[in-house]
Amino acid sequence: MTWDRRTEDRAAAIVGRYPEKRSAVMPLLYLAMAEDGYLSEDGMRRVAQLTGLSNAQVQGVASFYTMYKRDGVGEYLVSVCTSISCMLLGGDDVLDAVAAETGVADGETGEDGLFSVEHGECIGACGGAPALQVNYELIEGVTPDHGRALCRWLAENRPAVVRGDDLQERFGGRRSFDWGPVEAGGATGAVPAFGPLGTAGEGS
Amino acid sequence: MAEQPTLVTITVDGKPAQVPAGTLLIEAVKAAGVHIPHFCYHPRMKPVGMCRMCLIEVEGPRGMLLTTSCTTPVADGMAVHTESDTVKKAQEGVLEFLLLNHPLDCPVCDRGGECPLQDQTMACGPGESRMVEEKRHYPKPIPISDLVLLDRERCILCARCTRFSDEISGDPLIEFKGRGNAVEVNTFPDEPFASYFSGNTVQICPVGALTATPYRFRARPWDLEAVESTCPHCSVGCRISVQSSRNQVLRFMGVDNGPTNQGWLCDKGRFGFEYLGSPQRLAAPLIRNADGVLQEAAWSDALDLVAERLGALAAGGPDVVAGLGGARGTNEEAFAFGKFLRETLGTNNLDAQLGDGLDARLLAGITARGTIDDLERARTVLVWAPDLKEELPVLYLRVRRAATELGARLIVVHPRETGLDPVAAHTIRYRPGAGTELLRRLADGSGDLAEARRALGEGPVVAIVGRPGAGDDPRLAEAVLAFAAGLPGATLLPVTRRSNVYGAADMGLDPGLLPGRVAAPAGTGGRDAAGIIEGLIAGEVAGLVLLGADPVADYLEPARAAAALEAASFTVAIGLFLDESAAMADVVLPALGFAEVEGTVTNLEGRVQKVNRLLPGPAGARPTHEILEDIARRMGGSIGAASAEALAAEMAATAPAYAGITWEALSWGEGRRGIVAPGPAGSQPLVHAPEDHAPPPVGRNLVLHLARVLYDQGTLTQAGPSLAKLARPAAAHVHPEDATRFGIPAGATVRVTGSGGSVELPTVFDPSLVAGTVYLPLHCGASIGAGLEITMEAVS
Ligand code: SF4
Ligand code: SF4
Ligand code: FES
Ligand code: FES
């Protein structure tokens, strides 16, 4: 299997950035995921061919990191942190609320493909706990009610792009002191935009 | 030869010890007599420090430090403590962690009784677990290949199996999957662990997570009887432990013999024991009756008949009878066979090979013969030989190690891609028949071969040379060896596959050789395999003795061999199975086989090793030397074979290269690793000068590359259910350009016609071939002879 011309060119550019082909495995996996909307077996096979790793080795990397989705995800991936700080401040209740509002259980995707819900490990926002992410855009100080309202709003408005600042404004609570600058673009799906890090194989 | 390592002084538990410098603490401490419990560390693989079982305390500037002894190199003056309270507490803690999710199903686990986890838990573990939560559960077991089963919840994630597959065998089809509590070893979906070396992971798994289908639930370790021996499946001669219960071999385990297998086995060797207990084994002599049907008979009747018929034929002259075989048994059997043919029957028509290997004079008489261990020191390795991964798999592992771990530059010359190509610095392809031309260009370093030629100028060079395919002229290998002999620091390994073909050559089973690597006097005469087969067809040879040889299936022109047996007026087949040739014989005599007789075998480096007896074998079968002696006695002679050991003593006394290589010497201490019989320099000078030969013109025609694969339709492979199902159906490998040229669509069936007939096969496109070449696997149920030139056409 090969991808279309444009994707193959990007893949070649990514591989070209590293002295060892195998070092390109992670950005290539994002590329494969962007291609199919999730990390398909064919996508992993192609990454194996491009890196000289075996399929099993690529699967090993892909299955280690939770942000590589090997099953399809909904339009909005809601990741609720349940690690220690968030757990102490009610993260599990937020998760329950989000699951109840969307009708999608932890680790699942709804039948209509709108929401995926998952619990996450610490997302680096302990100071603003409890925190959650929509398509990896961060919102802090989220109560169960906030979580429910957030999901309702997403379902009603279906924004094509979600932006952390915007969501924080609408549904967030107390922020941590080190709330950093937010990426201008926002998120269009569950595949993180890895372009700004210079690993996307575009331009250069 | 071993260099004396420099020693450093360390203190182990307060006692000073001298240990080799540069080793890891775990090994250094072992050299000082202290065993450190460990799981992930394996002396033949790189350390990873994953299991934490090997923690010991090392004194340092900041006080005592708990350190993994498998990852820490020893240093002069180091003081370590292996039994302190801290160490004990650490060991208990590690074991409690490792057992958190462990199912403790030892009573139904194959590994129970020989399980490092069980043993070390008993020795160093806490009495009880504090884990009260539910453990992980998985469906169990899951097959990860036809041979290997995985019980994931027993796995302690030591990565021995995955490291073996990556580092040693180079086919990482298994890898850790998932994260945290959910990590497991697994394959890619739909891509099973179909490695030729998968059984090694079962052997080195320190728990019962990986088990082998042929052994699962068959025995408990404490019920097994074991004897050390040598693998009977190819000429690498890996050291094994043969293990049986109630007179049935249940498994082979690799024994670490540094100079040869370094502990590893290929799966064909490891699981190739089932044929011994096959219900198809011959258990009584067979005589062809008046209706032409082979019928069971008494031994005395069968032997009488053989003696009478062979005696009558042999009286007609030395050329009328002939013997084929002897390359799969022991040296003692080969020696007895040679004596029987030469002394009792008075013929010099004898050949252990079937024209598919190398000249026996070359195998026995090569100068500058190397050892496998020369690969440890090689700067450059030249492999112009069969695909080692398919034919001599553990030699493939050793060459791979030289190229990946030891920095040797590897040059592989073959008509298509081989298992070694991924680690080769240079891969050179040629069209069968054009090898001499290529050799000339390589020797000159012309054009694109300049780099490879430069590498060959940097010694020490090890040259592994054989016939890449059946169609390659054996004289090409001789020419390559002659070229390689002139390279700096060169040692040579002429390779051919049949397990004891080197021993058979050393025992003189060739018209040109006498026992002990001695050339037969000039003008001795005698026919080789091709001469015997053609002689039978022409009626010049009338009687044939087969010893474990099956020319009707194995000869490169099977139709000729069948015609020869058809034409023979009397054939006796001595062997284990009623194979295709035995089915055409007049008398079939059942012999005892591997693990049923004691003796010695000689591997491709001339290393003589012991094989030992563990089983009685089928009730009606007898040892080969006894069968031959009984026939000889009925003919009024004797080959003096009172026992195999007596034959061995006679060999050691009369065969120059085997002087002093007695069973006694091979049974103890260093001798268990085998003794390399001294080369021709030490005995009889014998230089086989290669002849020049011109490849036949190939023009626009296709040429055939006919080569073996590991799992084929061979009798021994097919008689064991585990390996039989691994044989793949044959396909014709066609270069895409040729497919276009001959109008063959992908996946089409083609008819290929060669020197010995034609066959219809599905096609596979193989761009690794040189255009103009078609590759067929040998012995995969389709034979068209071995002639170089073939034709091919698509059939609808
Ligand atoms: S691996 Fe098997 S024998 Fe070892 S402790 Fe586990 S269940 Fe018991
Ligand atoms: S299966 Fe065995 S060898 Fe492989 S990681 Fe698990 S315990 Fe180690
Ligand atoms: S614990 Fe939730 S963000 Fe760190
Ligand atoms: S043996 Fe040292 S960490 Fe496993």
Choices 3.40.30.10, 3.40.50.620, 3.40.50.720, 3.40.50.300: CATH for A76-191: 3.40.30.10
B150 touching chain A per CB within 8 A: no
The encoded tokens of residue B736 equal 């895409």
Say if residues B596 and B616 touch (Cβ distance below 8 Å). yes
Query: In chain A, positions 63-82, which contact chain B (CB-CB < 8 Å)?
Result: 63-66
Ligand 4 atom, smallest distance to B36 CA: 1
Ligand 3 atom, smallest distance to A84 CA: 1
pLDDT at B687: 57
Per-residue CA distances from B210 to A175, B147, B155, B438 (Å): 50, 10, 8, 46
Q: Chain B residue closest to A48 (CA)?
A: B188
* Cα A151-A155-A161 angle, rounded to 5 deg: 90
| B686: pLDDT strictly greater than 80 | no
Q: Do B173 and A56 touch (CB under 8 A)?
A: yes
Task: Name the CATH topology of B7-99.
Answer: Ubiquitin-like (UB roll) (3.10.20)
User: Residues A185-204: what's their mean pLDDT?
Assistant: 67
For A8-20, the DSSP string reads: HHHHHHHHHTSSS
Is residue B682 very low, low, confident or very high in pLDDT (cuts 50, 70, 90)? Answer: very low
Pocket lining for ligand 4, CB < 6 angstroms? B 38-41, 49-54, 68, 70
pLDDT at B659: 86
Dihedral, A166, A169, A171, A172 alpha carbons, nearest 10: 110
| A195: pLDDT strictly greater than 70 | no
| B48: pLDDT strictly greater than 90 | yes
Q: What is the CATH number of domain A7-64?
A: 1.10.10
* Adjacent-strand bridge partners of B574: B547, B589
Say if residues B757 and B722 touch (Cβ distance below 8 Å). no
Say if residues B682 and B775 touch (Cβ distance below 8 Å). no
d(CA B183, CA B173): 16
Q: According to CATH, where is 3.40.228.10 located in chain B?
A: 366-494
Tens digit of each residue's pLDDT (9 = 90 or more) over B530-575: 999 999 999 999 999 999 999 999 999 999 999 999 999 999 999 9
Tens digit of each residue's pLDDT (9 = 90 or more) over A116-170: 999 999 999 999 999 999 999 999 999 999 999 999 999 999 999 999 889 999 9
Nearest to B177 among A53, A60, A66 (CB): A60
Q: According to CATH, where is 3.40.50.740 located in chain B?
A: 286-357+500-676
Choose from B161, B163, B165, B177 for mutation: most chain A CBs within 10 A. B177
Bridge-based pairing of strands B409-414 and B426-429 is parallel
Q: Do B175 and A41 touch (CB under 8 A)?
A: no
Tens digit of each residue's pLDDT (9 = 90 or more) over A30-64: 999 988 989 999 999 999 999 999 999 999 999 99
Q: Does domain B286-357+500-676 have CATH number 3.40.50.740?
A: yes
| A175: pLDDT strictly greater than 50 | yes
pLDDT at B694: 64
Side-chain-side CA neighbours of residue B240 (13 Å): 35
d(CA B172, CA B165): 5
List the B294-296 sheet strands across, edge first: B294-296, B286-288, B587-590, B570-575, B543-547, B321-325, B350-351
Distance from CA of A58 to the nearest CA of B (A): 9
Q: Is A43 exposed, middle or buried (0-12, 13-18, 19+ CB in 10 A)?
A: buried
Tens digit of each residue's pLDDT (9 = 90 or more) over B338-391: 999 999 999 999 999 999 999 888 888 888 889 999 999 999 999 999 999 999
Q: What is the CATH number of domain B702-794?
A: 2.40.40.20
pLDDT at B299: 98
| B704: pLDDT strictly greater than 70 | yes
The encoded tokens of residue B512 equal 């040109």
Q: Chain A residue closest to B193 (CA)?
A: A56
Say if residues A36 and A69 touch (Cβ distance below 8 Å). no
Contacts of A60 in chain B (CB under 8 A): 175-177
pLDDT at B191: 96
Ligand 4 geometric centre to CA of B258 (Å): 23
Collapsing DSSP to helix, strand or coil, B599 comes out as strand
Distance from CA of A59 to the nearest CA of B (A): 7
pLDDT at B681: 47
User: Residues B678-703: what's their mean pLDDT?
Assistant: 63
Average model confidence (pLDDT) for chain A? 90
pLDDT at B471: 78
Per-residue CA distances from A151 to A102, A148, A156 (Å): 7, 5, 9
Tens digit of each residue's pLDDT (9 = 90 or more) over B252-285: 999 999 999 999 999 999 999 999 999 999 999 9
B187 touching chain A per CB within 8 A: yes
Angle between helices A144-157 and A91-102 (to 10 degrees): 30
User: Residues B445-474: what's their mean pLDDT?
Assistant: 93
d(CA B535, CA B528): 10
pLDDT at B1: 45
Q: Which ligand is closest in space to the CA of residue B105? A: 1
What are the φ/ψ torsions at residue B275 (nearest 5 degrees)? -60, -25
User: Residues B734-757: what's their mean pLDDT?
Assistant: 89
Say if residues B80 and B59 touch (Cβ distance below 8 Å). yes
B186 touching chain A per CB within 8 A: yes
Q: According to CATH, where is 2.40.40.20 located in chain B?
A: 702-794
Tens digit of each residue's pLDDT (9 = 90 or more) over B428-442: 999 988 898 899 999
Tell me the one-letter amino acid at B140: K
Is residue A107 very low, low, confident or very high in pLDDT (cuts 50, 70, 90)? Answer: very high
Ligand 3 atom, smallest distance to A85 CA: 1
Domain ranges of chain A: 7-64, 76-191
Distance from CA of A50 to the nearest CA of B (A): 15
User: Residues A3-31: what's their mean pLDDT?
Assistant: 93
Q: According to CATH, where is 3.10.20.740 located in chain B?
A: 7-99
Is residue B678 very low, low, confident or very high in pLDDT (cuts 50, 70, 90)? Answer: confident
- Strand segments (E) across B207-247: 210-212, 225-230, 239-245
- The separation between the first and the last C-alpha atoms of chain A, rounded to the nearest angstrom, is 26
Q: Between A109 and A182, where is the model more confident?
A: A109
What are the φ/ψ torsions at residue A164 (nearest 5 degrees)? -55, -45
d(CA A102, CA B294): 79
- The separation between the first and the last C-alpha atoms of chain B, rounded to the nearest angstrom, is 63
Tokens 């994707």: give the residue: A7
A49 touching chain B per CB within 8 A: no
Highest mean pLDDT among A38-47, B646-655, B662-671: A38-47
For residue B518, give the nearest of B421, B649, B651, B646 by alpha carbon: B651
Q: Which ligand is closest in space to the CA of residue B51? A: 4
Q: Do A56 and B187 touch (CB under 8 A)?
A: yes
Residue in A80, A89, A118, A126 to alter for ligand 3 test, most ligand atoms within 8 A of Cβ: A126
CATH-assigned architecture of domain B366-494: 3-Layer(aba) Sandwich (3.40)
| B693: pLDDT strictly greater than 70 | no
d(CA B102, CA B518): 61
- Considering only CA atoms, give the Rg of chain A: 18
User: Residues B400-418: what's their mean pLDDT?
Assistant: 97
Residue whose CA is at the smallest distance from ligand 1 atom 7: B106
Collapsing DSSP to helix, strand or coil, B437 comes out as helix
